[in-house]
Copies of this chain bind each other. A is one copy, B any other.
Amino acid sequence: MLDHVEPIAAQPIEPFSTEHESFKSTKPETLGRFVGKHFIYTYENGWHYETYIRSAYSADFRIHSGLLTGRWVTDTKVHLVRITDDICKMSWCEPTGTCVSLLFNLGNRRMHGTIFFPQWIAKNPKEAIVHENEHDAEMQAFRNAGPTYPTMVIDEFADISFMEDCGTENNKVIACSSTELPKGYASRKN
């Protein structure tokens, strides 16, 4: 029954692109309350993360603790949509193969994240602890080398401990790894 399934073939490494994705569901005119927001939050599994919504189509991330402490990503393309006046949903797929879908609720300062990690990150997370933008081809090489499955599914709520407006396309919000930040940066509350 399965003998017509071909074995895995090596995949060529091309520049990472979202050109084939439709971004029609993103309506910038509905996202005014969300664009520019900068969040620091801690998942209930203890992972400490930071996100900056740079524009209606892009975001920055930095990881303070968890499986990937030290990883950061700037100006990555995301799908951002308004769910209610308080809630936005942001989804994207990374050069690592990781797929992510986050909800931020500005009203009660809670968020919920679902992260689908390929198995290679579960087995060897240190390879993904980089400023991803400088390592796109390397991340895609790890992605293609796999193993991809079983997918590691993380589904967690978080409390937003710090929230501010930083305007759009602000390169100063997330500009280094969490390991290079002044002490106390990520533990601020407001």
Contact = CB atoms under 8 A, between A and B. Distances in A.
Interface of A: 1-2, 5-11, 13, 17-18, 20-26, 44-45, 79, 81, 83-84, 87, 89, 91-93, 97, 99, 101, 103, 105, 112, 114, 116, 137-138, 140-157
Contacts of A79: 114, 153, 155
A83 B87 contact: yes
A93 B25 CA distance: 22
A105 B93 contact: no
A11 B147 contact: yes
A112 B81 contact: yes
Most-contacted residue by chain B among A141, A151, A156 (CB, 10 A): A151
Nearest to A86: B84
B116 A11 contact: no
Q: 9 closest A-B pairs (Cβ-Cβ)?
A: A101-B101, A79-B155, A91-B114, A99-B116, A5-B141, A93-B151, A8-B8, A2-B141, A5-B145
Given A84-B84, A114-B91, A97 B153 contact: no
Contacts of A13: 2
Contacts of A91: 101, 114, 153, 155
B99 A83 contact: no
Given A25-B157, A147-B11, A142 B5 contact: yes
A49 to B, nearest CB: 15
